[in-house]
Structure 1
């Protein structure tokens, strides 16, 4: 047996494992609860925890939500918006960060602090003015209303700018000598080097857009344009206390999030690291 395998775990390491496993269980139990409830026949859910995890189970609830509402259309809307918003917002944020990091212009620091101050305001504080602007532009109840307001997030600009500050200025000077303009320098040098941070921010933007409820709920009235978060209340009735259908549609809506987390968790960890970078 290898020497390192025969060593006993120290008390701090053992406590760390216990805390980690405890947190993992705390995170897994709600997901398991949701899935089991979604598989119970409608009207059969009971309050006793032990009996909730016992048969019978059925997939009829999933069949019902597809037959009673345009779930596939709502899913396509969510996927479309959740892909377009991260792509466009990251391009916008990357260009702004490049200008703030490597281009000298008047009042650059003031512009950066104005962008940074946007992180101090919760989205709910600007929702009324945002609605008025969208109404004035006549983009309510359209894909433009779901996409355009999300393109001006300050977090991506701040994080990417911090990353670009770490790229040596000598690369910019060498690109100028080779005849590259500002855009070509950004495209050929800065954009390829920023793939890790861009991937992490893309995932965070995707998850945030997929789960967004308040703004789509206020800006969309046509059922065909619903995203999944605002379509879910369709299955919740104040006259019916049964929880199987809401849990079913929530379980269905959680599948893409779980898939993204499983396959891209290393980028999520990188994203948490990048958000902690000191300027």
Structure 2
């Protein structure tokens, strides 16, 4: 049966890899090439001139920098907030702790699109539109991260915490020196998934940003595509350049990404 699994896996990998290979091949073609058959896409000559043109004549690199900056801040702050919230709901005794957990859990039942209008109004009243703060702050609330990290904190024995308390350790010391090191795999998984989610986020930046200097990649790419509607090479170059950081992230942290998906139940 192993050979059947290998054939099926190889076929699935080929199906998913084919668009990427086609994108990379087309991106190095010369503009204005006559295409008659499918094989013509893969025939020389090849050129990197379009890459140079896109990098120099568009704001793609600036949009990539904006996406990276926002994704890094969203990732760090989201994981920090979720870790503290998960720890508080798991190990810190206080009234209505169970109620708070169900309130966070209820956040999973509300689609993000349903909160867009009030979120936009709040951001407008706080003068956060067209700013990095406006891109970062609304993305910090992550019920999934809180619930996943809480489940990991629940698995830490209370005896270990009590021993630290007997030695004079406070809540902050328990959190920093005990809980965080023991839940490092979950933290890494949530960080990677949060980074990818922020990098690919389109709806909120589309609504909150109007200055093209503040665009992130998901916003900027469609504006370039509209300019090159009759050309194949330039759109593929744009997509190839924009895909490099996220593909590199996946290659480096493949195990953590797969583990994070299995932990959180997210399928996309």
TM-score by length of 2: 0.94
Distance 1:199 1:218 in 2: 30
Q: Does 1:196 align with 2:164?
A: no
Distance 2:149 2:123 in 1: 28
Contact persistence 1:98–1:161 (CA under 8 A)? yes
Q: Does 1:20 align with 2:9?
A: yes
Distance 1:25 1:93 in 2: 38
Distance 1:127 1:38 in 2: 36
Query: 2:41 corresponds to which residue?
Result: 52
Question: Quick one: which of 221, 224, 227 aligns to 2:210?
Answer: 221
Question: Quick one: which of 250, 256, 259 aligns to 1:270?
Answer: 259
Query: 1:247 corresponds to which residue?
Result: 236
Contact persistence 1:100–1:112 (CA under 8 A)? yes
**Which one is further off, 157-166 or 227-236?**
227-236
Alignment CA distance shift 1:117-1:32 (3 Å): same
Distance 1:20 1:183 in 2: 47
Contact persistence 1:77–1:227 (CA under 8 A)? yes
What's the CA shift string for 1:9-68, capped at 9, x where partnerless?
xxx222111111111111111111111121122233636322211122211111111122
Contact persistence 2:24–2:236 (CA under 8 A)? yes
Query: 1:165 corresponds to which residue?
Result: 154
Distance 1:30 1:112 in 2: 42
SS at structure 1 position matched to 2:140: helix
Which stretches of structure 1, 4 residues or longer, exceed 6 Å deviation after superposition?
none
What's the CA shift string for 1:112-154, capped at 9, x where partnerless?
1121121222222221121111111110100001100111011
- TM-fit CA distance, 1:185: 1.0
Distance 1:74 1:88 in 2: 21
Q: Does 1:180 align with 2:169?
A: yes
SS at structure 2 position matched to 1:241: coil
Q: Does 1:90 align with 2:67?
A: no
Alignment CA distance shift 1:66-1:160 (3 Å): same
- TM-fit CA distance, 1:70: 2.2
Distance 1:178 1:49 in 2: 72
Structure 2 residue runs without a partner (length 5+): none
Query: 2:96 corresponds to which residue?
Result: 107
Contact persistence 1:45–1:244 (CA under 8 A)? no
TM-score by length of 1: 0.90
For this pair of structures, how many residues does the alignment match? Answer: 265
Query: 2:195 corresponds to which residue?
Result: 206
Distance 2:52 2:34 in 1: 18
Structure 1 residue runs without a partner (length 5+): 1-11
- TM-fit CA distance, 1:218: 1.2
SS at structure 2 position matched to 1:236: helix
Contact persistence 1:216–1:230 (CA under 8 A)? yes
**Which one is further off, 23-32 or 51-60?**
51-60
